Each structure stands twice: as structure tokens, then as C-alpha cells.
Chains A and B, each alone.
Chain A
Amino acid sequence: MRRGQLVDPVAQRLLELQKVSGTQWLLRIVGTAMTLLALLMTFGGTGLLAHFGTTLITLVVALGLLCQFRNPDSDLGLLAPVGIVVGILAQGEVSMLRTAGIGLMLLIAHSAYALAATIPVHGVFGRSAWLLAGKGLLAVLVLSLLGGLLVAGLSGVQLGPWMMVVGVLAATGLFIAVLPRGR
């Protein structure tokens, strides 16, 4: 194979990268960085490759991130947060503050990828678009904070086993209400 044939497609791809807008780079990098931070907060710096289970979860999260970095609208973007939730479940008792921090990181990453999916790869966000997205995210943050405080407050209350039935029913109802229909 001639060298020119090898180099040109690579150079072409690098040139294509120049078309990616600053907005897209920012949103995708924020999304990836926040997910990685959530993963680090889940396992700690040295725990990522501590044993087979954590290595597998780390690889699954990395794969999900790679897919989502290429295409923010990808359904495979589900892999990264699922991997982190499984990691927390596998760890036993984790402090509320740590899980709240992980939840916050996942929210920011999720919002960044959701916004990145609304514009093409060369698209830019105007000032008004940033303000609109910021206002929407602020409302989510405030309500999440209130919800988190409520969960922290109620976690100390001992309820009877019958509450399990009510709780699961409430969670199922909420899930059905939120789950999108007719995509």
C-alpha cells in the first residue's frame, strides 16, 4: 500500500474534526468527564481495576462513554450509569453524601449529552440557548436537592413491612408516568 493512500484518509478525518464546534466539544467533554468522575467516586482511584467485577464495570462504563461521545443520542449511553448503579449496589453500604455526589455528576453528564443531541456536530449554542438550558437545569438541581434532603430525612424513619408494598407500587406508578410512550 502506498503511503499516500494510508495517510490521506487519516488526514481527512483529522480535518473533519475541525468542523466540530466548540459547543459540541464542551458538552461532550463535560458529559464524559462527569461520568468518569462519578465512576471514580464509586470505586475510588485505585479500585477501578481492583478485581474482575470492578474491571468489568469499568470496561462497560468506558464502552458506554465511547459510544455516547461519538453519538450523544445513542441508546448505549445507558451502559455507563447502569454500570455505576451496579457498582454502588455491589459495594454494600455507601455514605449518602457520596451517592448524592455521584447522582449530581450523573445528572450533569446526562444533561450535557441531552443538549449535545439537539444540535448537529458543527452546531453552536447561542447565548439565549445557554440561558434557557441553564434555567431548566437549575430547576432540576433545586428539586433534586429538596428530594435528596427528603430521602436523607426519611431514611432514619423505621416503617413497617407493609410500606414496602406501597413503596414499590408508588415507584412503579412513577416509572410508568415518566417512561416515554410513542418514541
Chain B
Amino acid sequence: MNSGDSRQNELRTRPTAALVRAAIIGGVSLALALVLGRPDVILVGLPLLVWALVALARRTLRGEERAVVDPQQRVNRRSIEEGGTAAVTVRTDPGVLTAATLPMPPHADVAPRHGALAGDGEVQLRISAQRWGKIRVGPMHVLVADALGAYRAQRTLAPAEVQVVPASTVLDAPVEVPTPIGVSGVHLSRRRGDGTALSEVRAFRPGDRLHRINWRVTSRTGQLHTNATFTEQDTEVLIVTDTIADIAPAPWSDAEAPTSLDMTIRATSAIARHYLAAGDRVAVFDIGHLIGPVPAGSGPRQLRVLTTALSRASRDAGALRPARRLRSVRSGTLTVVCTPLLSRDTIAQIGVLVSHGADVIVVDTLPPSIGDTSVLNGKPLRIDGKVSDRFWPEAWAMRRLLREKTVRELREAGVPVTAWEGPSSLAPVLLSLSAARTAPRMRRS
């Protein structure tokens, strides 16, 4: 940076209206006292004159005539969890009254309440994230002044970004999958082989391992018997997210009620965390292309990759994104589709997945308040004290009824649909899928 640029960036304080007032009142009262020979009048303006002189002397002694320290902004955490807090610190110089004002970011709380705080040389504002995604912190307006408020300068600092990772709910569900398709892992498969779960005790065959011989049965029968086990396999879990549209909850619901996108992202995060903890490979395919595809992977690194991808997503309210299609999926892949089931493209995509032989579970992420008119009790909806003429609740109630038909058809096609109600949402579905795996089947010709 050359000297011209640095001079341009220097923060120079300027006199305030308060200094002008103090100088005029103090000077005028002193002059009038001298001219009129009224020493008592001096005492009225003397404190204000001293106030101005102290401010001037302080500025000269501290060398603030040329420039004051440029405010520096620092965000302590660039990535936080939903409900987590990041601190934004603005630092100047001790003895400088520093006031920082932050515009209120959407879906976040700022402390102090309205995002403006003054301190001595350093100010710290805290931002608590309510929703996942990117939070734009700033642009921050910083005002620096002397201790008396006689001189001041202002600067606007460039905005910073904080990524909010979806809350890490631990899914309360079994880790069993209907069709494990990997090589080794924790899921009990239907194939017999090396493992720990006992399948049967049978006669010893050439090639069986000696340490698996069941000596108790052998001594009783007089013939060599061995313990046969089921193999244990991992699997690939594909999470399909529908981010085509973000459906806001009904106006009468709680201000903190999640939108369909919130529910989708939270469900995705919880399911991915659950299966990654079990050692499976997890991939994400986003129909709306809001978070982008995440290739299959396993372990803590994959969890980091996934949560980073989720937190990088930005909301653009009201915008409809074009749908993308997943062309193929490996047969037997456990596929969890998180969707509000409103888009035809998503429903068609579920059909494609089923036709490819995937074990599909649909997690319904439509906010429960949508289409629920019971709270109105027959009264019209009031928005901001005015009667709404848009028939908003009635329209959504009809849409939900139409959607019930889709849900019924999916269930009839063997696709379980479960509403996302938190960490325990998937348990009954996964248990029923596991039970269905062992149930007798009709031979297909």
C-alpha cells in the first residue's frame, strides 16, 4: 500500500456539535463577563470552557490530531452450530470511546439486544445463530470518539461470514439396514460367513476353521460340528434432499418454528451422523442443488465434509430452484429422501429410485402447521390486525389434502413415509424395514 492509500485510510477525528456548543457558551460568557464587569457570569460558562479545553488538550497529548487507531474487527469462530454463539470484537486503542453497531442478521440474536455497544477501546458483540446456513455479520459501523464526546470519526468495516452447522441431534434409531451391500461392517447380513452372530451349528466340512469347532456338540454326537455365523457388512446410505423450495410455517405458529428447508437440513444432518457413526458410507444428493452433491465417504472426515457443505448453503427466500435428477443408484442402497413432498420432480425421483431397487424411506419435512386450520376455529386469519383476503390457510389445507393422496400411493408402493419430528422419527420405519427383510416373501415369476 502506498503512502497516498494509507493517508486515505487514516481515521481522523472531527469536532462534534457538542464542542462547538461548549466553545461558544464558554467564550461568550467569558467575553460578556469581561465587558460587563460581571465575574459571576464567568462561572456559568467556565465548566463548558474547561470541558472544551480538556478535550483539546487530551487530543493534543494523545496525538489524535493526525489520526486515531484504525478499528480492527475479528470474529472468534467462523463456524458454529445452530444455537451456538460467535463473538465479534472491534478493537481500537485504550482511552478511545469505541461504539460498534451491527445490522441485525436474519435468524440470529445479537447481544446486546439491538446490536450496538460502546466500550473503552474494545467492544465485543455476540451473535447466537438460530438457523443453519451462512450468516453475514456486518457491515459494521464503528464510531470512535474521545472520552468526552468532543471529537469523533466513523468507519464502516467490511462484513464477515459465519457458517452455521445444523444442530447435531443424535438419531434415536437402530443401525440395522434392510440390505447391507458392503464388504465388512456392523450390519448383520443374510449371508453366512465370518462374523460373530451365530447362524447354526452344523457338521464340519473341509475348509471350516478349526477354532470354530463346537466341542460340546462334537463330544455329544461323536461327530465334528462347527459354529456357522452370519457375515457383517457395511452399507451405503444415500440421502436425497429436496431443496427446491423453502416452505415457511403458518403465520400463527411460533416465530422460531422451522421451515421445510430447516427440517430437511436437520434431518439430513441427523441421519448422516447416525450412519457415519455406525461406520457406513454416506452420500448426499441434492435435488434442488442448494447444497450440492456430497460423494460417498465414511468416518469423521465425511461428517466434516457434509456439515461444511450443509452450513455453506445460503437461503434465498421464495426462490424456486430447478430440479436435478439422479440417474442411477446401486440396488439395495438404503435411500432416505428428505422432502416436503410438494414437487412433482421429487415424487418422480422417488419412483426412479424404487425402480432401481433401492430401499427408499421418505422423511416428510413439510412444517406441521402448514394446512392445519384447526387453530383458526372457524375464524378468518388475521395478519397484522387486518383480515386476510388471500385464503392462505384454506389453500394450504387443500394442498395438504392433495398431498395425502401422494403419501398413500407411496405407501401402497412399499415406500414408508414418516414425518420428521426430531431424533426419534426414523426408529419405527427402520425397525419395520428390518422386520420386513426376514419376513416370508412371495416368489415372483
- Smallest Cβ-Cβ distance to B144: which chain A residue: A118
Shortest CB-to-CB span from B312 to chain A, Å, is 32
Contact A119 B118 (CB under 8 A): yes
* A contact residues around B25 at 8 Å (CB): 78, 81-82, 85, 106
Secondary structure at the A interface, as helix, strand, loop or mixed, is helix
Instruction: Verify if B127 is at the interface (C-beta below 8 Å from A).
Output: no
Contacting pair A174 B49 (CB below 8 A): yes
Contact B17 A110 (CB under 8 A): no
- Which residues does chain B contribute within 8 Å of A89, judged by CB atoms? 32, 36, 38, 41
Is B51 a contact partner of A129 (Cβ separation < 8 A)? Answer: no
A15 at the interface (CB under 8 A from B): no
The answer to the question of B157 belonging to the interface, with a C-beta cut-off of 8 Å to chain A, is no
Let me know if B290 is at the binding interface, CB within 8 A.
no
Among the stretches B81-89, B147-155, B390-398, B424-432, the one at the interface with A is B147-155
The answer to whether A144 and B95 touch (CB under 8 A), given A19-B114, A74-B17, A183-B20, is: no
| A118 CB contacts on chain B under 8 angstroms | 97, 99, 118, 143, 145, 149, 152
A46 within 8 A of B: no
Interface size on B, residues (CB 8 A): 67
| Closest B residue, CB atoms, query A79 | B21
Q: A102–B44 contact, CB under 8 A?
A: yes
User: A78-B21, A88-B40, A110-B22 in contact; A167/B32 too (CB < 8 A)?
Assistant: no
Contact yes or no, A78 B24, CB < 8 A: yes
* Minimum CB–CB distance for A131 against chain B, Å: 7
Of B52-60, B164-172, B353-361, the one touching chain A: B52-60
**Minimum C-beta distance from B227 to chain A (A):** 71
Given the contacts A19-B114, A136-B54, A136-B146, A114 and B16 also touching, CB distance less than 8 Å: yes
| Interfacial chain B residues near A110, Cβ < 8 Å | 18, 21-22, 48, 51
Q: Give bound CA distance, A73 to B149, whole Å.
A: 10
Q: Would A178 and B147 count as touching, CB distance under 8 A?
A: no
A81-B48, A140-B148 are known contacts. Are A129 and B118 too (CB-CB below 8 A)?
A: yes
**Are the C-beta atoms of B39 and A151 separated by less than 8 Å?**
yes
**What is the 8 Å Cβ interface bit string for chain B, positions 7-46, against chain A (1 contact, 0 not)?**
0000000111111111111111111101110111111111
Bound-state Cα–Cα, A118 to B97, Å: 8
Q: Does A164 contact B (CB under 8 A)?
A: yes
The answer to the question of A53 belonging to the interface, with a C-beta cut-off of 8 Å to chain B, is no
Q: Which of A131-177 contact B (CB under 8 A)?
A: 131-133, 135-137, 139-141, 143-144, 147-148, 151-152, 154-155, 164, 167-168, 171-172, 174-175, 177
Distance in Å: Cβ of B190 to nearest Cβ of chain A: 65
Chain A CB within 10 A, most for which of B23, B41, B118, B120: B118
Nearest CB in chain A: distance from B140 CB, A: 12
Number of A interface residues, CB 8 Å?
A: 74
User: In the bound complex, what is the Cα–Cα distance between A141 and B334 (angstroms)?
Assistant: 77
Which among A21, A77, A171 has the greatest number of chain B C-beta atoms within 10 A? Answer: A171
- A14 interfacial by beta-carbon distance below 8 Å: no
Interface membership of B296, Cβ < 8 A? no
Chain B nearest CB, measured from A79 CB (Å): 10
| B149 close to A115 (CB less than 8 A) | yes
- The one of A104, A111, A180 that contacts B148, using a Cβ cutoff of 8 Å: A111
Asked if B199 lies at the interface with its beta carbon under 8 angstroms from chain A, I say no
Contacting residue for A120 out of B16, B47, B116, B119, CB 8 A: B116
> Do B15 and A107 touch (CB < 8 A)?
no
In the complex, what's the smallest C-beta–C-beta distance from A112 to chain B, in angstroms? 10
Contacts of A164 in B (CB 8 A): 34-35
| Cβ of B326 under 8 Å from chain A | no
Q: Which of B24, B50, B147 is within 8 Å of A147, CB to CB?
A: B50
Q: B97 is contacted by which of A107, A129, A148, A167 (Cβ under 8 Å)?
A: A129
Across the two chains, which residue of chain B brings its CB closest to A109? Answer: B48
